[in-house]
Amino acid sequence: MKLYGYWRSSAAYRVRIALNLKQLEAELISVHLVKDGGQQHAADYAKLNPQELVPTLVTDDASGDEFVLTQSMAIIDYLDERYPQSSLLPDNLELKAQVRAMAYTIACDVHPLNNLKVLQYLANTLNVADDPKSQWYHHWIHQGFTAIERQLQQHAGQYCFGDVVTLADVVLVPQIYNAKRFNVDLSSYPLIEQVWQHCNQLEAFKLALPENQADAVIS
């Protein structure tokens, strides 16, 4: 099993957490999103992932044939169904739907507005200066986190849904990491901060941290 990703990619970060929670081994292959104009745009990689994004999972299917899958949420769903140990979703149908809804709030509504290609477009194509670009980033984080904090008031224990790690935690934690990296004031979100603290006590989350990746460059 191979996972193409980048240490700072929150989407790849999600998949690393899921792999660790399920105790699955994968070769982590770095695709540097900035170097050489972005290695995700190289022809060989574009054959694997036509969107020219990370992550990409390459594994064998049940017949032993190579299977390539893109999109972090699809990859996590696939891993959860193929390797049901340490399931990331509860058994109860309604609770399962609520977990997915919280995860999708981040994955579909918050993260896409703040990922690298959007920030690069704002800066390089629209010539948006650093201060308004930062305001853009903070605005969408606050909008999403305000909604998540309200949901956590109904559901949270140590983690997003009670005291068992779910898909919601797997998706939320990388977004919190990014928010902290971009100096978003999270003081209004005590439950989100609580989830962050509890998750990062677990080895699966610690090992997945961006700074703990082989391709990490801390400056």
Burial 194-213 (b: 16+ CB within 10 A, else e): bbbebbeebebbeebbbeeb
Average pLDDT, the chain: 96
Question: For 44, how many CA atoms within 13 A lie in the half-sphere containing its CB?
Answer: 3
93-204 topology per CATH:
Glutathione S-transferase Yfyf (Class Pi); Chain A, domain 2 (1.20.1050)
Specify the CATH class of 2-86 in words: alpha beta
Q: Global pTM?
A: 0.96
Mind listing the pLDDT tens digit for each residue in 39-50? 999 999 999 999
pLDDT exceeds cutoff 60 at 219: no
The domain ranges of the chain are 2-86, 93-204
Mind listing the pLDDT tens digit for each residue in 102-144? 999 999 999 999 999 999 999 999 999 999 999 999 999 999 9
Share of the chain above pLDDT 70, in %: 99
Can 2-86 and 93-204 be said to share one CATH topology? no
C-alpha distances in angstroms, 17 versus 20, 51, 79, 210?
A: 5, 23, 12, 11
Share of the chain above pLDDT 90, in %: 97
Distance CA 102, CA 3 (A): 25
Mind listing the pLDDT tens digit for each residue in 137-187? 999 999 999 999 999 999 999 999 999 999 999 999 999 999 999 999 999
